[in-house]
Copies of this chain bind each other. A is one copy, B any other.
């Protein structure tokens, strides 16, 4: 049996230790650890990388702290419009959903699109209809409500802008938050299972106060998510528009396939060089088919974790 491993992220951005209370820091670390434990357990009992990334992302979506699923930010009209995608590195099958409301776990919808539809990408009302037909769990607006996100929305709304950020401590320093903090609220997971199969999944509530049914990189296969057994599984978090222009996730794969880069090298070229040159703040997590993991970001921090069958385990926030 070959090594297996999983990595997760809960968003990247200007996350400084001075901005988090000890209680909040502990809550974030617990949220990450829970997701990691759930995903790793799936691998440990012989599950596929697809099972593992799905379980980990569901756990992160269910945690109110992260901007995905339950913790999704507010749009300009006070809704929660969620994006998610998933890709199976063994088959290159992929599923993605953009701008869906009410679905408790958008990653499960992305998986259902991949497995039960003839399409890759569904959106909006149509995606919700498909979710209903697939009998996925739906929730009313109050499930997605949290006071801190509401306050964050009000603040951004009053400044008439959009924010990629999310932070729990908005009420205390609402005015400075938009300038000081940039936290790209997205969650994701990548895994390599004991058969050497790769998978990646990503999920987000998008940008606070987002308008015009904006779609970021999360549901864009090749930008926010990619998986191919030959190279890597990648899940990104960051300023989505720039990750789309950079075709960030697939660029890592191409650097490995065509240039012979290692996972770590390829992720550093894309994240620390190419994305930096276009002001593309954020990061990404990656796995290759030998069970190697890389966690690379060009921002102050990234909520992240990894666990490997060799016993290695990490949960971290700051640089």
Q: Residues of A with Cβ closer than 8 Å to B? A: 92-94, 98-99, 117-127, 129-130, 162, 211-216, 220-223, 226, 240-241, 244-247, 250-251, 254-255, 258-259, 278
Contacts and interface: CB of A to CB of B under 8 A. Distances in A.
Contact of A120 (B122, B241, B278): B241
Contact of A124 (B93, B99, B120, B129): B99
Contacts of A220: 121, 220-222
Nearest to A207: B119
Given A93-B245, A244-B94, A254-B254, A122 B214 contact: yes
A127 B212 contact: yes
Contacts of A99: 123-124
Nearest to A88: B245
B258 A245 contact: no
Contact of A123 (B120, B213, B245): B213
Contact of A98 (B118, B123, B130): B123
Given A122-B213, A124-B124, A247 B259 contact: no
Give the secondary structure class of A's interface: mixed
Given A245-B92, A254-B254, A122 B221 contact: no
Contacts of A127: 212-213
A81 B195 CA distance: 42
Given A120-B241, A247-B250, A251-B250, A125 B213 contact: yes
Contact of A215 (B122, B129, B130, B212): B122
A212 B258 CA distance: 36
Quick one: which of A212, A221, A222, A241 has the most chain B CB within 10 A?
A212
Contacts of A124: 99, 123-125, 213
Question: Across chains A and B, which 7 residue pairs bring their CB atoms closest together, nearest first?
Answer: A126-B213, A254-B254, A126-B212, A258-B258, A222-B247, A121-B215, A222-B222
A117 to B, nearest CB: 7
Contacts of A254: 250-251, 254-255, 258
A130 B215 CA distance: 14
B247 A226 contact: yes
Given A118-B162, A222-B250, 12 more contacts: A92-B246, A93-B245, A99-B123, A117-B212, A118-B241, A120-B240, A123-B213, A124-B125, A129-B212, A220-B221, A251-B254, A258-B258
Nearest to A212: B126
Contacts of A258: 254-255, 258-259
